[in-house]
Amino acid sequence: LMNLYGSYNGNILINGCNLKDINKSEYRKRISVLYQDFRLFSMTVNQNVSMEYTGGDANVSEFLEKVRVYDKIQNLPQKNETILSKEFDEKGVYLSGGEQQKIALARSLFKETDVLILDEPFSSMDSISTQEILHIIEKELQDKILILITHDLHNLSAMDEIFLLEGGRIVEEGTEKELLSKQGKYYQIWKSDNTEEVS
């Protein structure tokens, strides 16, 4: 989907156009991705979100608010100008795993694109933060495409289509309501997850 691999079988079509025939540079400008193994850099909060060394930080606070990390950043000594990590600055700070994930998520949202791909974006966050942020993202991206890759089957009721993969193949697809009513593999995983949460 990101057009990172040139050799694969079959065809990937984007609005009817073969992915191999689309200009890679222009195509990637229209996609924002948060990888599961994202990296933050030993730069300021503003720079980590905007990914610009100077400027580009005018709206950073807006995105920090959307991912529910704004208050945390404003309580730091230098606020948005705080360096993340002490690698090059002993006044820098280390954030928790969930806070780092929120900064990376703000970066993905900051780059306004047609498609947002999120790979396990809430794995280090608590369920309340996850629900709040996912609700905001769904509201913000009503006219755009969101591809959410996750093992957590909670909070997927707003998704237009869900694909359950096993061994690299689609084994079930449909809305959350449709998949739960089938009582197949998706339902079994969903039921198991909800039982563990209650106990």
pLDDT in tens, 74-112: 999 889 999 998 888 788 889 999 999 999 999 999 988
- Are 66 and 153 in contact by the 8 Å Cβ rule? The answer is no
Q: Which residues, in sequence order, are CB contacts of 3 under 8 Å at separation 6+?
A: 19, 22, 24, 27, 28
Phi, psi dihedrals of residue 106, rounded to the nearest 5°: -60, -40
Confidence label for 171 from pLDDT (cuts 50, 70 and 90): very high
Phi, psi dihedrals of residue 169, rounded to the nearest 5°: -125, 150
- Are 3 and 18 in contact by the 8 Å Cβ rule? The answer is no
**Alpha-carbon gap, residue 40 to 17, rounded angstroms:** 34
**Alpha-carbon gap, residue 171 to 184, rounded angstroms:** 10
**Alpha-carbon gap, residue 56 to 64, rounded angstroms:** 14
- Beta bridge partner(s), residue 48: none
Map residue 99 onto helix, strand or coil.
helix
- Which pLDDT does position 198 carry in this prediction? 38
- Which pLDDT does position 65 carry in this prediction? 93
Q: Answer yes or no: is pLDDT of 14 > 70.
A: yes
- Are 36 and 119 in contact by the 8 Å Cβ rule? The answer is yes
